[in-house]
Amino acid sequence: MLQVSQHQALLRLTFVIHGYVHPSGAALAGLDSLAFLRAMPMAISLNITDQVKAFFTEIGEVSYFAGRFFKEALKPPIEFKELLRQCYQMGNRSLVLVGVTGFILGLVLTLQTRPTLIEFGAVSWMPNMISISIVREMGPMITALICAGRIASGIGAELGSMRVTEQIDAMEVSGTNPFKYLVVTRILATTLMLPLLVIMGDAIALFGSALVENFKGSVSFQLYFNIVFDALEFGDLVPATIKSFFFGFAIGLVGCFKGYYSKKGTAGVGVAANTAVVFASMLLFFLDFMAVFISDIFYEL
């Protein structure tokens, strides 16, 4: 709200300078739209400047929040009971969603790719291409985006509602460390659970692909998975597994940050849940790019 009011004040000041409105707020009579057109570029530039400043300010706040997480995570005691409960909430309750998504991913990817490979006479390479595509890139990324929509929004809404109802303030008054109990456990849970969800999603996606090949191309499951295991190498599994840990950390970090510092009021809960999904998805794409870029450097070496 403060940023919006500042922007409105700057916009009004710009219009006053160019003679479009009176300082009292009333529009000046007898002026055409030329003054308005002259004022608009400056107003737009001020808006862009405010957005850029707000973006980098939020990046700094998230970085400080991450540093505080590492500081609190290393301090005893560790809330094992709450950590296990969060692992169940974020891992076990996401199995069906990730499984269905992975199965459909394997089906669709194989059905879409098969006609092209048949056209070039390379249908025998189907298991190789599908397995490498899913394990290296599509499996971790799709699973992370699905979990960002479910987990990040859930964390943001949960912590946001606790902030609005002053439960977090009550924990501070009672002597409980709310950051350690609420934030650290959730970030650790997402960091630990997402790689397991990725592995399960990859396996189900490959099963869906094998099902299509068995039905369309009369390829047995044993032959399909023999080709898959021959195609996959250690260098395909390690980068995908490592970046899935970072994906889980990013999802938990953004969800906790948005919810923990949610604005007062019921509208703040919805904003926290919505912005958590958007920011987490953007961060996932950036982390994926960095992971692919670094992996490519090591492959060249």
CB atoms within 10 A of CB 111: 13
Summarize the confidence of residues 191-209 as an average pLDDT.
94
Q: Dump the DSSP string for 219-276.
A: --HHHHHHHHHHH--HHHHHHHHHHHHHHHHHHHHHHHHHHHTPPSSHHHHHHHHHHH
CA distance 27 to 110: 63
First to last CA, the chain: 51
Task: Express as a percent the part of the chain with pLDDT over 70.
Answer: 83
pLDDT greater than 80 at residue 211:
yes
16 pLDDT above the threshold of 70: no
- As a whole number of angstroms, the distance between CA 195 and CA 246 comes to 9
- What is the DSSP code string of 147-188? HIIIIIHHHHHHHHHHHHTTHHHHHHHTT--HIIIIIIHHHH
- Residue 2: its pLDDT value, please? 43
Average pLDDT over residues 139-167: 90
Nearest Cα to 223, choosing from 152, 126, 301? 126
User: Mean pLDDT across the chain, nearest whole number?
Assistant: 83
The arithmetic mean of pLDDT across residues 204-228, rounded, is: 89
3-state secondary structure 10-34: HHHHHHHHCCCECCCCCECCCCCCH
Task: Look up residue 188 and give its two tokens.
Answer: 């650790």
Q: Tell me how crowded residue 241 is: count the other CB atoms within 10 A of its CB.
A: 14
Of the listed ranges 9-18, 77-86, 89-98, the least confidently predicted one is 9-18
Predicted local confidence at residue 22, as pLDDT: 47
Does residue 264 or residue 90 have the better pLDDT? 90
